[in-house]
Structure 1
Amino acid sequence: MKRSSLYESALTRGEFLPEVVAYYYKQWENYNMPFHAHNQVEIMYVIEGHCCVETEEESLNMKKGEFIIIDAEVTHRLFVEKGSPCRMLNIEFRFHERKGFFPSIKDFAEEDQAFARLLKMNAPYLLLKEPNEVYFVLKHLVLEMDERGKENLLMVHLLLSQLLIRIARLAVETRVNEPLQQANVYVKQVLTYIHENYDCEIQMKDIAADVNLHPGYLHRIFKNHTGLTVMEYLTSVRMEKAKMLLSETDIPLIEISDYIGINSRQYFSSLFKKYAHQTPVEYRKTAMQKKEFASWERV
């Protein structure tokens, strides 16, 4: 009995081994493949250049050092632009009942936690990037099959086992880091919004709406990444801008608060003193004295 999908529950109940069905190097250019599906798992590794793999759900741009593992029966196609060649290594594999003494897929899952988690992901495809370890195993696997075919299955099985375990660990690591990476994106969007709009009256709901997040969730991830709440960071930006305007411009004191998005001059004065340990008047006076002293030294 043969199994095609990487996520079939039978793989962890029975005794199955991975089996390479097809493999090839190919230089693609100006190519638009029709949508199709395989009855085995496919790995497409980009050696040079870049390409696009399209599924029924999205388009996945791939470049050197990236690869995609596509589960059986998942519809997809390859698109490569004219003038931008893409060299790839493809391997297709499925699973068959174990014969001999080689460790089975169930054995892998019992011994390696990452591999067990991979088998439960049930992802139609995984786009991954790695520092050459996967490609190193891939090319040695292909070379072994080219040179010895089925004469030395031991090395083929060892390399294929190593390949699947490395992919599993990379997939799990990527999944774990994805929320952190996405949170970083949201935090950067908030920082950009604040630095571009600090002169306006801003509320938490305005910032949350700009990044399409619930205010409570945004508050948590921002505090975790910066150590400050969103409004604390906004205040620090405004106070630093006020310090610059007080020390480097002749803008009247009564107008400074308007330049940093605080409508109440009394509240601005109180907030500034708490932040800078001086009133705005005292800060400007000190800044002017420092400039005068510096000019005397130059003379």
Structure 2
Amino acid sequence: MGNGSIFDENLLKTDYSPIIYAYYYKQWNEFHMAFHQHDSTEIMYVIQGDCLVEWDGGTGGREKVVKLKKGEFILLDANVPHRLIVENTCRMLNVEFGFSDHSGYVPSIKQLAAEEEPLRAMISAPTSYLMLIDPDDVYHLLKSLALELDHRGSDGGVLDRMLMSQLLIRISRLRRETENNASHQVEQYVKQSIEFMHQNYDRSIRVNEMAAHVSLHPGYLQRIFKTHSGQTLMEYLTAVRMEKAKMLLQQTDIPIADISDYVGAGSRQYFHALFKKHTKQTPIEFRNSINTHRFLDKGENI
């Protein structure tokens, strides 16, 4: 293969085996690494302490950075310029790997991906990096891999390839679990925001207040809400208010002039404009149409 990217679609088309290029433990103390890149995918696992990993995502914009703590790791794609920044102390285990023509009895990445959907999905979703929190499975596999490579003199073998294949499967499953958890969390944020709107539609509320209620940045809440519901927060809130207004016009005798105060829609003029935009009728026309239907219903047997 031309490089060692785990996100190369050729891994799903042709038989290749994983191969380790480098592996090492290292304790870094107050260290700022220069930007560099290599033709291999790299796993940087924090055993103790914390560090920053900064990289160029390839978009031509400013670099991005993530903070890694104990039990967290980053998988960096091949040929992504990156550097390590350690302000205090950080002990890490690093593994750099790629792929070579398939040989031996261990299934190829293509064969594994055919059986493991999370692995196939990971390979098919190119990204500059994956940052994941390890429940300990990944570290045990990394440690076993390093010990086996030490034992064999780093020349590679059947068990090395088996451990590396198992490691990639575990990382892909962990990626899937993380995505599912994140999706569930997003659903919870959206649900809490909707509940807040239904409980507070009768007063003036802003995006900042909704975001504070769910402990999120306003911009992030706006983004996930629009993605999940297809509407902005204020569009959804306006729809809630208009549905409440329709109910009040239909089910009560509250004066039309007062309805805007009941649904927190601001001035009467603004409420009338919103209502007509949403229902194609003015509030008076809507109430009259309801009363007309009631009259016709009562007169059906006459």
Contact 1:7/1:120 (<8 A) preserved: yes
- Asked whether the equivalents of residues 55 and 83 of structure 2 are also in contact (C-alpha less than 8 Å), the reply is yes
Aligned pairs for 1:262-273 within 5 A:
none
**Considering only aligned residues, what root-mean-square deviation do their CA atoms show, in Å?**
3.7
- In structure 1, the partner of 2:116 is 112
Q: Distance in 2 between matches of 1:216 and 1:52?
A: 30
Which residue does 2:68 correspond to in 1? 62
Q: 4+ residue runs of structure 1 moved beyond 6 angstroms?
A: 186-195
Distance 1:165 1:216, change over 3 A: closer
Cα distance 1:178–1:147, how it changes in 2: closer, same or farther (>3 A)? same
Q: Does 1:172 align with 2:176?
A: yes
Worse-matched range after superposition: 173-182 or 159-168: 173-182
Contact 1:33 1:77 in 2 (8 A): yes
CA–CA distance in structure 1, aligned partners of residues 110 and 10 of structure 2: 9
On the 8 A contact 2:105/2:158 being kept in 1, the answer is: no
Is 1:5 matched up with 2:5?
A: yes
For the 8 Å contact 1:204–1:231, the answer to whether it is kept is no
| C-alpha spacing 1:65/1:190, structure 2 compared with 1 (3 Å) | farther
- The count of aligned residue pairs is 225
Q: CA deviation at 1:31?
A: 0.6
Query: Which runs of structure 2 are paired with 1:1-299 in the superposition (5 Å)?
Result: 1=1, 3-56=3-56, 57-81=63-87, 84-149=88-153, 153-184=157-188, 201-203=203-205, 211-212=218-219, 213=222, 217=226
Query: Are 1:44 and 1:68, in contact at CA under 8 Å, matched by a contact in 2?
Result: yes
Give the letter for the 2:182 counterpart: E
Q: Residues 103-127 of structure 1: CA distance to partner in whole angstroms, max 9, x if unpaired?
A: 1010011011111111011011000
Q: Which digits, 9 at most, give the CA deviation of each residue in 1:172-230, with x for residues without a partner? A: 221222233345456678999999xx7x9324777568834289859969xxxxxxxx9
Structure 2 residue runs of 5 or longer lacking an equivalent are 57-62, 213-217, 231-238, 242-263, 267-302
TM-score, normalised to structure 1, is 0.64
How has the CA–CA distance of structure 1 residues 24 and 192 changed in structure 2, closer, same or farther, with 3 Å as cutoff? farther
Amino acid at match of 1:71: D
What TM-score results when the alignment is normalised by the length of structure 2?
0.64
Distance 2:127 2:185 in 1: 19
Paired residue type of 2:39: N
The SS at the match of 2:138 is helix
Alignment partners' CA distance in 2, 1:73 and 1:31: 22
Paired-residue identity, % = 39
Verify the 8 A CA contact 2:3 2:39 in the aligned structure 1. no
Once residues 225 and 52 of structure 2 are traced to their aligned partners in structure 1, the CA distance between those partners, rounded to angstroms, is: 37
Report the alpha carbon displacement of residue 101 of structure 1 after superposing the two structures with TM: 2.4
Write the distance in 2 (CA, Å) between the matches of 1:41 and 1:183. 33
How many angstroms does 1:161 deviate by? 1.0
